Amino acid sequence: MDNTVLRISNEHLLLGDKVEQLPCRKNTVKFAPGMPDTIVLHYTAGRDGRSAAEYLCKDTVKASAHLVIDRNGTVFQLVPFDTVAWHAGKSQWKGRAGLNNYAIGIEIDNAGILTRSGTAYTSWFGRKYAEDEVMEATHRNESQKRYWHLYNEQQILLVEAVCELLMDGYPAIKEILGHDEISPGRKQDPGPAFPLDKIRQRLLNDRDEDSAPVNNLSGKVRVPYLNIRRLPALGANKVAQSLPEGTDLTIFEEYNGWYRVKTEIEGWVAGRYVDIENDFPDYNKDIH
């Protein structure tokens, strides 16, 4: 998923071409220092993303979320990322209760559990789905197979891109969980149709393996101008004006083709545009 059009503002808002802000005024309490450190994924079990977002924004509804991701790729933000939302309810994980206080909540537009009737599959709200929109699977907390509404590829890639951006913007985030994991028996979302384990592997395990210190090597910018960013991501804000060719760099860390460097300032630059003394992998993507 190309997430170059997405970024997080200094006001903790997601910005992008298909991002809509629907302020949820009822949520005003800020996260404690050092939080959030977790992302919790949910499905809406509703008709569409917009109606779910508008419902969660109502003052009379005792639930909310930070984001709702529609099937058409629109992302609705209800609550800033520095503010507690009401998405987890009664929940527990690794000895901590009340995950609202620690987690960003992302709702994904999906009907959830379906009931089969002949060749049609029906949601709790009466909408029917064709067979190619459904999978039969056993939930991780259950023993019997049921029918589940499929997520589309655009949603899955967008959820992964947003999670990665949140991890870059809030480095304390080390967990990506399903609602069904923090409230087992009470909740089933995001369900077996969502590839949560694969996304965790790519974003958490592989990410940790990709990052490594590089022992304060020296380098020089080898292109006319090189962007220096706050985080190792295309969507991250620049920390200063672009560095001119020949700028001396001290390199502290390598992550997935990016170098954390220091000149007069400190930030991240695309590694393929830096000449250094030691050999590093050849990064082929134009990411400066």
Q: What is the DSSP string of the chain?
A: ---TT-EE-TTS-EESTTEEE---TT--PBPPTT---EEEEEE--SS-HHHHHHHHH-TT-S---SEEE-TTS-EEE-S-TTB--S-S-S-EETTEE-GGGTEEEEEE----EEEEETTEEE-TTS-EE-GGGEEEEE-TT-SSEEEEEPPPHHHHHHHHHHHHHHHHH-TT--EEEEHHHHSBTTB-TT-TTS-HHHHHIIIIIHHHHHEEEEEEEEEEE-SSEE--BSSSSTTSPBSSSPEETT-EEEEEEEETTEEEEESSSEEEEEGGGEEESS------S---
pLDDT of residue 225: 85
Q: Is the pLDDT of residue 148 over 60?
A: yes
* pLDDT tops 60 at residue 234: yes
Predicted confidence (pLDDT) at residue 230 exceeds the cutoff of 90: no
- CB of 92 closer than 8 Å to CB of 182: yes
Q: Specify the CATH number for the domain of residue 236.
A: 2.30.30.40
Q: Note the pLDDT tens digit of each residue in 38-77.
A: 999 999 999 999 999 999 999 999 999 999 999 999 999 9
In angstroms, rounded to a whole number, what is the distance separating the alpha carbons of residues 230 and 183? 35
Confidence class of residue 281 from pLDDT cuts 50, 70 and 90? very low
Residue 287 lies in a domain: no
Which of 121-130, 135-144, 227-236, 245-254 is predicted least confidently?
Answer: 227-236
Query: What's the CATH number where 49 sits?
Result: 3.40.80.10
pLDDT tens column, 84-139: 999 999 999 999 999 999 999 999 999 999 999 888 999 999 999 999 999 999 99
Q: What is the pLDDT of residue 3?
A: 41
Residues 6+ apart with CB under 8 A from 118: none
Domain range for 263 is: 211-276
Please state the rounded mean pLDDT for residues 156-168. Answer: 92
Residue 288: predicted pLDDT: 40
Q: Which two tokens stand for residue 143?
A: 């023993």
Please determine, for residue 285, whether its predicted confidence score (pLDDT) is greater than 50: no
Q: Quick check: is 205 in a domain?
A: no
Same domain, 189 and 246: no
Task: Kindly state whether residues 265 and 150 are assigned to the same domain.
Answer: no
Both 190 and 72 in one domain: the answer is yes
pTM listed for this prediction: 0.73
Mean pLDDT of 151-162: 93
The vertex-211 CA angle with 96 and 106, nearest 5°, equals 40
Question: According to the model, what pLDDT value does residue 137 have?
Answer: 96
Asked which of 4-13, 157-166, 192-201, 210-219 is least confident by mean pLDDT, the reply is: 210-219
Regarding whether 257 and 187 lie in a shared domain, the answer is no
Output the CA torsion sign for 156, 93, 210, 15: positive
Q: Does 133 share its domain with 262?
A: no
- What was the pLDDT predicted at 61? 97
What pLDDT does residue 202 have?
Answer: 84
Per the structure, the count of domains in the chain is 2
If asked whether residues 149 and 184 sit together in one domain, one would say yes
Q: Residue 33: inside a domain, yes or no?
A: yes
Q: Are residues 188 and 251 in the same domain?
A: no
What is the per-residue pLDDT for 260? 86
Say which residue, 6 or 216, is predicted with more confidence: 6
In a domain, 131, yes or no: yes
| Mean per-residue pLDDT over the chain, rounded | 89
**Which residue, of 194, 224, 247, is where some domain finishes?**
194
- Residue 2 CB neighbours (<10 A): 8
> What residues are paired with 211 via a beta bridge?
255
